[in-house]
Structure formats: C-alpha cells, structure tokens
Chains A and B, each alone.
Chain A
Amino acid sequence: MSKNRKIKVLVCKPGLDGHDRGAKVIARALRDAGMEVIYTGIHQTPDDVVNTIIQEDPDAVMLSILSGAHNALCPLIMDKLKEKGIDDVLVAVGGIIPDEDKPILEKYGLKGFQGPGTELKEIVEFVKTNLKR
C-alpha cells in the first residue's frame, strides 16, 4: 500500500460477548500508533461484520471474542467474505482462543490469536507486518 495512506483497521466484537475492555484498549493503541481505527461496538452478527467490512473497506479486521463462540462465528464470517470475493483484508481474532482451536481457525484464513497479557506493541507490529495489501 502507498506510504502516504494511513492503515485502516476495523476493531470488532462479534456475538453477544460484552467484555470490551481488551477491544477498546487495542483500538486506542492502534490509533495511537497512527492508524485509522473504527470500532463497531458489541453484539455484531456475522452479517453485521461483513457489511461493515464492505462499507468501510479496512486493511485489517481485528475480531475480539472472549465468550467461546469463536468456532461458530469466525468461520461464518470468513465464508461470507469469500462469497463476496473479499480476500485482501487481514482478518485476525483475539481474546480467549484455546490452542487446540487455532489450527481450525487458521484453515479459514484467520490469524493472530492474541490472548490475555499480549503487549500492545506486539499487536501494532502484527498488524503492520501481516497486511495483505
């Protein structure tokens, strides 16, 4: 991507999980690192997420899930993006993702899996180095 443009990131809370402390802290850290950040707020259905991605055209999408619903929600989001022909957006998921679930989510093209205790600078670096455009 061109050096003059800010990296645009969508921070997103899919499902009913209201634990948004992590998502908000990450949103602010990415903004402080010079990125343009949009935070969707909570209670996003997979369709909501995909529609926002189509509208906002972000470079990266950071999903935050702590409720255990990741195995149901993430693959659905990825399938819907594929249907829409969107394949140049980095989609990462963090929160509480048990190790054994990671390979399944990776198969759907998800990355990241940052859990509790991850340093903010590590997340900023992750976004910068994993962009697909």
Chain B
Amino acid sequence: MTEIDEQKTLKPKKGERLESFRNLSDIETKRLYTPEDIKDLNYELDLGEPGKFPFTRGVYRNMYRGRLWTMRQFAGFGTAAQTNERYKFLLEHGQTGLSVAFSLHTIYGYEADNEHALGEVGKEGVSIDTLKDMETLFKSIDLSKISTSMTINAPASILLAMYIVTAEKQGHTPDLLRGTIQNDILKEYIAQKSWIFPPEQSMRLIVDTIEYCTKHVPQWYTISISGYHIREAGSTAVQELAFTLADGFAYVEAAMDRGLNVDDFAPRLSFFFNAHNNFFEEICKYRAARRIWAKRMKNKYGAKKQESLRMRFHTQTAGVSLTAQEPENNIVRVTLQGLAAVLGGTQSLHTNSFDEALCLPTEKAVKIALRTQQIIAHESGVADTVDPLAGSYYVESLTNRMEEEAEAYFEQIEELGGVIPAIKANFFQKEIANASYKYQQEIEKNQRIIVGVNDFQLRESCSTPLLKIDEQVSKEQIDLLNKIRKDRDNEMVKAKLSKLKIAAKGSENLMPYIIESVREYASIGEIIATLKEVFGTYDEDSIF
C-alpha cells in the first residue's frame, strides 16, 4: 500500500464506529498493524523459542502438546465436611487439582465464635478453625497424589502447617506435597485488604515460609504472587501487570536479604493473573509478564537456573466482569476469557461459574464452567500448537507496549522508595480507585457496552437457582470448635503458644513453632492472637 492510500483510509472518521478505540488499559488500538509496528523486534532476544529465555512464547518447549493446563476450580463453602463433598464431586468430573476457598473469619484469623465472625462463617468459603477441620476437608483424598492451592494470605503459614500435619497423619512426608499457598500479603494492602499484621512483620512470615519450604517441602510453591485481586479491585491490565511484578520483585529482594540464594527459592515462586474481557490485551499481558520477569531475574537478581527465570502462573477469569443481568451470558464471557488465558500460556485455570454475580456457584454452574475448559482443551484445537499468536503485528506490538508501560510504573514505585513505602503513601490504592471510577463512568456514558447491562437490556427479570448457605453452618462450626477445646490437651496448647510467642520476639524461623502449635489443635484464632501480641496490627487510611 502506498503512503497516499494509507492516508485516505485513515483520515475520515466516518466509516468507523468510534472516535478512538481504546482497550481497558486506555491504550489506543490502531485500525491496522503492519510490519512497521514490529520492525525492531528481534526473534531470539525478544521472543525466543518456547521454553527458552526470555520465555515470551511460553515456559515449556511443548506447552499443551505435552500436558494440558491444570483445571483447578476454586471451591469452598460451609463446613469442612460440605466442602469435602464438593471436592470429591469435582475430582469425579475430571478436575485435576484442588483449590481451597476459605471463610472470611479464617482468612482474618478469628475463631468462628468471635464477634467479627458474625454472619460470615462458611459464607465465602470453607470455615476452618483447627487441624481437625483440615483433616475433615481432605478426608479420603490422598494428599500425595493431588496438588492443592490454598487462597490464604495473612495466616498462610498456619494453613500450610495444618496441611503438612494432615498429610503426615495420612502417612505422607512433606517432600511429597505439591501445591501452593497464596501467601501474597503485599497485594492485600494494595487491593484485597485481608491483612492482619503490619507489612514488615507480614514479610517476615512470608520469608519464613519460603525458607522453610525450600528446605523441607521442596515441591511446594511458596507464594502465588497475585494480580487477580488488584484487577478485581478495579485496576487496568497494565496496572495489574506492573503492580504484581513489583510485588514479586519485593519478595525476591526480601528473601535475598535473609541470605537465601536466589536460585534456591525462585523456582518455587508462582503467579496468579486475571483474565478480563479484552481478548488481545489479556494475551499480551501474560506474554509481557513472562518476558519482564525473566529479564529482571537474570539481569538484576543474577538468577542462573532456567527455572528461576520462567514465570509460571495460574489464571482465573474476571469475577468482576460477570453480570447479574442475564447470568447465562456469563458462560460466553468466561469462554472468551478462558481462551485468552490459554492463548497466553497459563499453567492452570479457574473458569468462573455463570451465577457468581449472585451467589456462590451451584453444582450445575460449576460443571458448565469446568466443561468450558474441557471444550477449549479438547475441541477448539488451540492447545495443539505453541503460542499460535506470536509474530502477529498487533500482538507483538501490544506486548511491547505493555512491557514499556509496566517499566514506567516500576520507575514510579522505585521513586517512592519501593513497594511498602508506596503502599503507605496510598500510591497503588489511588491509582486503582481512579481507574475503577473511570471505567464505571465510561459504562455510564455508554462509551463501553456491557451486553444486558447498559445496552440490549432485557426487561423481564430472570430467575436463577441460588446456592444458599444455611445459617446453621455457623452453629455447627462453633459446636465443633467447642468440642476441640474440650478434648485437646489445653496445657500443651498453652505451652506451644508461649514458645511461639517467644520465638516471634526473636528472629528465628516461626514455621516449626507454628507446626507444633497446630499439631496440638491450637486454633488459627489462637495462633494469630498470639502473634498479634508481638507484631501488632495494621490500619490504612481509607481513600476513595
């Protein structure tokens, strides 16, 4: 095409639907991408073969031709016994890994009968107080055969301790255990808000788990550095990418400050991203993430092992994109989002259930969500070749652009003194609140169309069967807790907790003390309360 032709086709705004086409990170999307847009791209340096530095094309040579991604549906509600039933249901239907959702009182380290737990027990996840509940949760599930992801942050060390002891009671040693704890506290201060202790003390607990697992639970992924919640709180894709990686680098630096060798722990760090609506933007986000991570780990932190350089990640489709209006439409949204995650090279995937804007998912909705992944995997053909979108003028140019925008954020964070000072200055919180308000306004002005919400609305209301959590759950859980309090050796619990407290005042690794406390059936609430006495708590300024 000659230059004159190009001008002719670009100039008139008429003939195009919008004045400008902008993705969810507010990056302009051009009418057409050409070789000109990727003229500086160097295949070896910028993309590389799959499984080779800088891993832009994927972390394994064969990708899904070898092994499909792990289909891992996040689940948990009610009591441990109820959730154990759901896990068995999912495993029977072909799910290949478990992912535990915990009740909010567990996440905050309150016992089920604490005043803060009022109305919360078992509502957003499974209620766990003591080792006893954990034993029930994994009853008849062989922990040496399955990998388990636990979405737990502030009390991650405690739940990991419970998992280790539960496995031990099944007859398995810790070196056989596979899975991950989310354990990512920085994004809690940034976005999801379920912190307990101040940032510095939280970082100590995280490095304790990294150090302990490096020695004793070598197959465990010690932290799942998460952008998912940053995105759900309303960030853009670029912010999700930049803030998550900045958190990742902060953990690397904290572990290195402890004296750990980067190649000893980096291979067990993993990531967790969102899959939102804009298809190509999401794919480019994952590709850029891998490249940024590999380059920094090699060049800045001096990692040498290939495993330290390759970013492995889990993806979940965007809960925030689900609509309460015409919920069945969410099945289609989830399909597109899941497809983006697969084309972006995810290692595991959770597809949301269509009824999740209304309630915790019903069994039928969960099954459709799992089937969606199976259809992508086995029917669409997209899993048969590695990184099929590489070389696309648009995809490569957007991947580059997202990397550049993320680098600009890293500079800003550095200027503020790093991630923790930036949190305390409300930097991330303000950036996210601004992005989220802007997005909402664009929807209100119909600059972005959400089908069934601000266009193509249906007048009649539709009814979807909902999963209700029986208020009885709370009573049952409190009864279980009271029984444990009666049956266990309370003197022993007291002794273990006081040892933990003394250790917390010093600088020893706390994992062995937590494991000993858990083994005696000390509750999460008791362990957290003990640590609070030493570490204190944290409050944020609530900005909007």
Contacts and interface: CB of A to CB of B under 8 A. Distances in A.
Interface in A40-83: 40-43, 45-46, 67-73, 76
18 contacts: A15-B120, A16-B116, A16-B194, A18-B194, A24-B544, A27-B544, A29-B440, A39-B544, A41-B540, A42-B542, A45-B116, A67-B104, A67-B123, A69-B118, A69-B120, A70-B119, A96-B357, A117-B450
A59 to B, nearest CB: 18
Contact of B542 (A40, A45, A71, A98): A40
B197 interface: no
A117 B325 contact: yes
Contact of B119 (A28, A41, A71, A121): A71
Cβ-closest 7 pairs across A and B:
A72-B119, A41-B542, A69-B119, A18-B193, A68-B123, A16-B104, A24-B544
A25 B434 CA distance: 9
B41 interface: no
A64 to B, nearest CB: 11
A36 interface: no
A53 B469 CA distance: 30
B504 to A, nearest CB: 23
A33 B428 CA distance: 25
A24 B433 contact: yes
Contacts of B450: 117
Contacts of B116: 16, 43, 45
B170 interface: no
Contact of B193 (A11, A25, A37, A42): A42
Interface string B285-316: 00000000000000000000000000000000
B37 to A, nearest CB: 34
Interface of A: 11, 15-21, 23-25, 27-29, 37, 39-43, 45-46, 67-73, 76, 96, 98, 115-117, 119-121
Contact of A120 (B105, B357, B440, B466): B440
A37 B544 CA distance: 10
B233 interface: yes
Contacts of A19: 232
Given A17-B104, A73-B119, A25 B542 contact: no
Interface of B: 104-105, 107-108, 110, 115-120, 123-124, 192-194, 232-234, 320, 322-325, 357-360, 433, 436-437, 440-441, 444, 450, 453-454, 466, 468-469, 471, 540, 542-544
A120 B358 CA distance: 19
Nearest to B541: A41
Contacts of B108: 16
Nearest to B539: A41
Nearest to B450: A117
Contacts of A121: 444
B320 A21 contact: yes
B453 A117 contact: yes
A120 B234 contact: no
B476 to A, nearest CB: 15
A21 B120 contact: no
B104 A98 contact: no
B192 A18 contact: yes
A27 B542 CA distance: 11
Nearest to B104: A16
A16 B233 contact: no
Contact of A96 (B193, B359, B542): B359
A39 B193 CA distance: 15
Contacts of A15: 104, 118-120
Given A19-B232, A73-B119, 15 more contacts: A15-B119, A20-B233, A23-B544, A24-B433, A29-B437, A39-B542, A43-B193, A68-B469, A69-B123, A71-B471, A72-B471, A116-B323, A120-B441, A120-B444, A121-B444
Given A40-B542, A67-B124, A115-B324, A25 B436 contact: yes
Contacts of A21: 232-234, 320, 436
Nearest to B192: A18
Given A17-B104, A25-B234, A28-B437, A117 B194 contact: no
- Residue among B108, B358, B440, B441 with the most chain A CB within 10 A? B440
B38 to A, nearest CB: 36
Contacts of B192: 18
B120 A16 contact: yes
A120 to B, nearest CB: 6
B102 to A, nearest CB: 11
Contact of B324 (A69, A71, A116): A116
A50 to B, nearest CB: 14
Contacts of B115: 45
B107 A16 contact: yes
